Chain A
Amino acid sequence: MSWAEIIRTGLEAVRSHRLRSGLTMLGILIGVAAVILTVGLGEGAQDKVRGQINALGSNLLIVAPGSTTTNGVRGGFGSASTLTRADAGALTSHVVAPDIRAVAPTTSRSAALTAGSSSWTTSVVGTMPDWLSVRARAIGTGRFISGEDVAGHAAVTVLAATTAEELFGARDPVGQSVTVSGVPMTVIGTLTAAGSSASTNEDDQAIVPITTAADRITGGAGRDSVQNIYLEATSGHTLSAAYQEADYELLARHRITTPTAADFSITSQQSILSTATSVDRTLTVLLAGVAGISLLVGGIGVMNIMLVSVTERIREIGLRKALGASPRVIRRQFLVEASVLGLAGGLLGTALGLAGAAILPSLISDPISISPTATVGSIVIAVAIGVVFGVYPATRAARLAPIEALRSD
């Protein structure tokens, strides 16, 4: 009997027990759809994080203030304001740090902005002209803050897209006046939107010269300290050289001899990315594992039904043997039935998974990226499960002695 013939017979048997076949497939279907969706959700979350981190800029190093030791107690990173504008200034030297292209120290503080009758609270970021290139942002209208603005402590501000819209609506904000923490400033430009993958608060901020922020907004003792220093390396290859130059210079400036006692930390985009995605990956593996178990349970369902099917069709098996079916043909017939159940379950599960991936993001606002590997893989696994769990029932059917099979009533 040819394979085509055996497959036709197997399909017929699946079709003639519609309800039972359907329920058996359901187990596989749910398993496959679950695998596709969980892997898709995990990949989606990773893509989102990757997008947000990449949107920070390229070849980026971030220097953050470190811990302080007060009365012998070490505080956490970020608890001190150990970085100053002078530190940032030192790193701009091409002698000290030849592999650093641009430096942007930032201070950030939440403040109320008022323009006419509208008011909006957002973070006011004090920085230098290089911020634009370091953070890979672009000017929409007007211009960015200049070196003269910084030197002259100019009362000017550049608004990010959302902030500009909240304060001025459709009007052009450039040239308009806005009050920041009670200080009147002139809007000199706006930023374009940071892109869909960036976190939303990238588009909601007001940029002012760092000197203006120190004088008029921060003030007090902390006026010379900065929250972060963003460094842009000259290229991806010089990233680690830039890291070492910055590390060395800052240790020297802070008069620290043991690198482990540093009062600042330098992180790269890559290290942030790997930390962020490793958490997501662990979760994805865990969820996909649970989904995989449901696929396995579906496979056991296939075996269960195939065993019932062999017992129920014992007369049919006996008859087929009497009419000339060899054990091999009988075994193949049942194997084909089991694989058809697996394959159909796998394909329907994929369809359900893809449909879910199309519908779910609009309901839960989490992106789902369909992984072709997971999709093809789960179909293959579904068929494999059908075959593996079909072997035992099929072998039982093939071993039945024809007279025993024909005798049962």
Chain B
Amino acid sequence: MTPTDSTSTDSTSTDSTPNDSTPNEAGTGASAAVIELTDVRKTYRSGLFEVAALRGVDLSIQEGEYVAITGPSGSGKSTLMHILGCLDVPTSGLYRLAGEDVGGMSEDQLAEVRNRRIGFVFQQFNLLPSMTAWRNVELPLCYAGGPRAERRQRAVDALADVGLADRVEHRPAELSGGQQQRVAVARALVTNPSLILADEPTGNLDSASTEDVLALFRRLHDAGRTIVLITHEAEVAAAADRVLQVRDGVVTADSGQAARALRTVRA
């Protein structure tokens, strides 16, 4: 769901509220959950109406999982993605990202969490056209700080990781769509985040590039990365190990729970 003309009351008010909830590691030490949502709700105010985009989502994603969140447009999967990505905060409910309670964090703290914990891949690639590939990949490291030489090395390594070692000095306009998206994946990887969050990463790609990028995700998953993929395409969702169906602001189906239930029965 995309409430284009609505404003989120929460995302603007977090700026002024002092952070009184320090990250609480208790109770999360046992499980290696990267994401833990407990009864998360999100309400947008649109004029006189309140639009409930999320109506109580409970969700747990473990380290190393490859999860696809899918659903028709307007289902609330974009809102869910924004909350998972700390781009927005829930109206109510609890969200722990790698054990840290994200609710009630200030804008500055959220920025830091995004920088440290999350690697974003967008549908539109969102590369800065004036910068070369490695400078684009370096960008999150710039916000984290650190010596320039080391940042460049890490950016170049990340580009090599996605198979673009020979495109380091190219600008986005000199790269194909698939290559641009791989630069974006390299940028998501470079900070070594807890979570890679991909929002319709194949939405602007042809089928060959789509397979390319999906193969890249598969490889990253095999290397132990936690990946959450938001898509409305069934074929893309099928590439993930676990598929969550979102409809009308709630999770209606979770292939992972079934699998886990099965594992529990077997044990």
Chain A interfacial positions (CB closer than 8 Å to B):
1-2, 5, 9, 12-13, 16, 315-316, 318-329, 399, 401-404, 406-407, 409
User: A401 with B11: in contact, given A324-B114, A407-B4 (CB under 8 Å)?
Assistant: yes
CB neighbours of A399 from chain B (8 A): 15
CB neighbours of B131 from chain A (8 A): 12
CB neighbours of A12 from chain B (8 A): 130-131
Chain B interfacial positions (CB closer than 8 Å to A):
2, 4, 7-8, 11-12, 15, 82, 85, 87-88, 107-108, 111-112, 114-116, 120, 122, 124, 126, 128, 130-131, 139-140, 142-145, 187, 191
User: A1 with B88: in contact, given A324-B111, A324-B114 (CB under 8 Å)?
Assistant: no
Q: Which 7 A-B pairs have the closest CB atoms?
A: A324-B115, A324-B143, A16-B130, A326-B111, A323-B140, A326-B108, A319-B126
A325 and B143 contact, CB distance less than 8 A: yes
Give the complex CA separation of A276 and B208 in angstroms. 84
B8 and A323 contact, CB distance less than 8 A: no
Knowing that A316-B128, A329-B111, A401-B8 touch, tell me 8 more A-B residue pairs with CB under 8 angstroms.
Answer: A9-B142, A315-B124, A320-B143, A323-B139, A326-B107, A327-B15, A401-B11, A409-B124
A407 and B2 contact, CB distance less than 8 A: yes
Chain A CB within 10 A, most for which of B120, B128, B191 = B128
Chain B CB within 10 A, most for which of A315, A318, A327, A406 = A406
B107 and A327 contact, CB distance less than 8 A: yes
B143 and A328 contact, CB distance less than 8 A: no
B87 and A402 contact, CB distance less than 8 A: yes
CB neighbours of B15 from chain A (8 A): 327, 399
Give the Cβ gap from A323 to chain B, nearest Cβ, in Å. Answer: 4
A325 and B111 contact, CB distance less than 8 A: yes
Closest to B127 in A: A319
Give the complex CA separation of A5 and B135 in angstroms. 13
CB neighbours of B82 from chain A (8 A): 403
Give the complex CA separation of A184 and B187 in angstroms. 101
CB neighbours of A325 from chain B (8 A): 111, 143
A315 and B4 contact, CB distance less than 8 A: no
Q: Which of B7, B143, B145 contacts A323 (CB 8 A)?
A: B143
CB neighbours of B191 from chain A (8 A): 324
B114 and A320 contact, CB distance less than 8 A: no
Give the Cβ gap from B132 to chain A, nearest Cβ, in Å. Answer: 11
A328 and B139 contact, CB distance less than 8 A: no
B108 and A1 contact, CB distance less than 8 A: no
CB neighbours of A409 from chain B (8 A): 124
Closest to B117 in A: A324
CB neighbours of A329 from chain B (8 A): 111, 143
User: A322 with B142: in contact, given A327-B108, A403-B8 (CB under 8 Å)?
Assistant: no
Closest to A13 in B: B130
CB neighbours of B8 from chain A (8 A): 401, 403
CB neighbours of B88 from chain A (8 A): 401, 403
A2 and B145 contact, CB distance less than 8 A: yes
Closest to B116 in A: A324
B87 and A322 contact, CB distance less than 8 A: yes
CB neighbours of B85 from chain A (8 A): 322
B142 and A5 contact, CB distance less than 8 A: yes
A319 and B143 contact, CB distance less than 8 A: no
